[in-house]
């Protein structure tokens, strides 16, 4: 005899699986469309067409354009943070950790290059863009999440006795800027340098600076 809780759960799980599949399909289409035509022109109609579903189906799963974008970004936030945490955990020591952290971000964002380029353009991560019609707040949670991982990494550097605690607040801010700046270039560059090379340059500059003496 099937336990009552499984009886109840089984159909729900199927429904959830279908829902996950559908939402993934629609979100993948949304990223493609936004990447191709930009946020302003990415209509629900275009996204539905790309996903091969009816317009009304999109509204079954999402409250509208903003909600769809926010859920896309939320999914990216989870994907990015998993990837970055994994990379940092696999690295040996602070310097390797910093390099792995940077490389994982560059690679992940590179996988959604056109989408992130379109979002950065609208949202103002790009230094020269301050649009009033900001589409989403989830972009901010991506930043917060990445900063939290960076803060853990810096704590490790402090723990290893490599870093000076007094300099950490400014250093974190400046490192955040450097990562944004590099990403902004990379997503728009038709032929970016390999992520590993750029991560190495960034990590070395952050750690050792460029001056002849410290």
Partner 1 sequence: MVAMEATPQAELRARRSPSRSEGQGRAAATRARIVASAGRCFARFGLARTRMDDVAAGAGVSRALVYEYFASKRKLLAVVQREALADWFAAYEAAVADTPSVRAALTAWLGFCLTDSDRHALARAVFVGQEGEGAGAWSEWRIQLRDEWLARLTALLERGIARGELRAGLDAEATALALRGLQVGVTQQVLGDPETGVARERQIAAAIDLMLAGLLPPART
Q: State the residues that interact with partner 1 by CB under 8 A.
A: 35-38, 40-41, 114, 117-118, 121, 124-130, 157, 162-164, 167, 170-171, 173-182, 184-185, 188-191, 193, 197-198, 200-202, 204-214
CB of 23 to partner 1, least distance (A): 25
Where helices occur in 90-123 by DSSP H, the ranges are 94-111, 113-123
Euclidean distance between CA atoms 196 and 15, whole angstroms: 41
In the complex with partner 1, the residue whose CB is nearer, 47 or 175, is 175
b/e for 102-131, b at 16 or more Cβ within 10 A?
bbbbbbbbeebbbbbbbbbbbbebbeeeee
- The least distance separating partner 1 from the CB of residue 131, rounded to whole angstroms, comes to 9
Other beta carbons within 10 Å of 93: 12
Q: Which is nearer to partner 1, 57 or 141 (CB)?
A: 141
Q: 27 and 71 in contact (C-beta within 8 Å)? A: yes
CB of residue 184 to partner 1, shortest distance in Å: 6
170 in Cβ contact with 104 (< 8 Å) = no
In whole angstroms, the minimum distance from the beta carbon of 73 to partner 1 comes to: 17
Nearer to partner 1, 90 or 194 (CB): 194
| Residue placing its CB nearer to partner 1 in the complex, 53 or 168 | 168
Q: Measured between alpha carbons, how far is 82 from 104 in angstroms, rounded to an integer? A: 10
Minimum CB separation of residue 38 from partner 1 in Å reads 4
Lookup: tokens for 131 = 């649009």
CA–CA separation, 88 vs 94, rounded Å? 9
- Nearer to partner 1 (CB atom), residue 23 or residue 118: 118
CB 34 within 8 A of CB 118: yes
Q: How far is the CB of 201 from partner 1 (least distance, A)?
A: 4
If the CB atoms of residues 23 and 102 are measured against partner 1, the closer one turns out to be: 102
All residues at 6 or more sequence positions from 195 whose CB lies less than 8 Å from its CB, including other chains: 103, 106, 107, 110, 186
């Amino acid at each position: 005899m099937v336990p009552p809780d499984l009886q109840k759960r089984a159909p729900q799980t199927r429904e959830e699986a279908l829902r996950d599949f559908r939402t993934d399909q629609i979100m993948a289409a949304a990223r493609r469309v936004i990447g191709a035509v930009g946020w302003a022109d990415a209509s629900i109609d275009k996204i539905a067409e790309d996903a091969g579903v009816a317009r009304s189906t999109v509204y079954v799963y999402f409250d509208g354009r903003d909600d769809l974008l926010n859920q896309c970004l939320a999914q990216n936030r989870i994907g990015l943070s998993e990837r970055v945490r994994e990379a940092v955990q696999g690295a040996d020591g602070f310097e390797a950790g910093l390099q792995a952290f940077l490389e994982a971000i560059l690679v992940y964002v590179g996988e959604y290059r056109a989408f992130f380029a379109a979002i950065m353009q609208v949202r103002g991560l790009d230094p020269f863009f301050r649009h009033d019609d900001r589409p989403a707040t989830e972009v901010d949670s991506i930043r917060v999440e990445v900063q939290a991982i960076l803060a853990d990494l810096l704590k490790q550097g402090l723990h290893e006795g490599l870093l000076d605690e007094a300099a950490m607040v400014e250093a974190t801010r400046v490192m955040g800027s450097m990562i944004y700046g590099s990403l902004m270039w990379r997503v728009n560059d038709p032929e970016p340098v390999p992520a590993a090379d750029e991560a190495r340059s960034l990590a070395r500059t952050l750690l050792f600076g460029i001056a002849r003496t410290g």
